[in-house]
């Protein structure tokens, strides 16, 4: 009985963690993509 309740709580916590981290992952992709593309455009100018 307690094991089933613990499993349900783990699943709920996992879902909450996923929803909470999604915006941060999206921001990291946006800023990561911007910085990497910025580096690509800067390197030919230096050379």
Integer CA distances (angstroms), 1 to 10, 11, 40, in order:
14, 16, 57
9-47: per-residue pLDDT in tens? Answer: 999 999 999 999 999 999 999 988 766 555 555 555 565
The ranges assigned to domains in the chain are 1-28
What per-residue confidence (pLDDT) applies to 13? 98
What per-residue confidence (pLDDT) applies to 32? 87
What per-residue confidence (pLDDT) applies to 45? 59
- Tell me the whole-structure pTM to 2 decimals: 0.52
H-helix or E-strand containing 14? helix 2-46
């Amino acid at each position: 009985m307690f094991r089933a309740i613990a499993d349900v709580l783990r699943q709920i916590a996992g879902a909450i963690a996923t929803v909470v981290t999604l915006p941060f992952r999206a921001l990291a992709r946006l800023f990561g993509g911007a910085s990497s593309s910025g580096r690509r455009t800067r390197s030919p100018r230096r050379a």
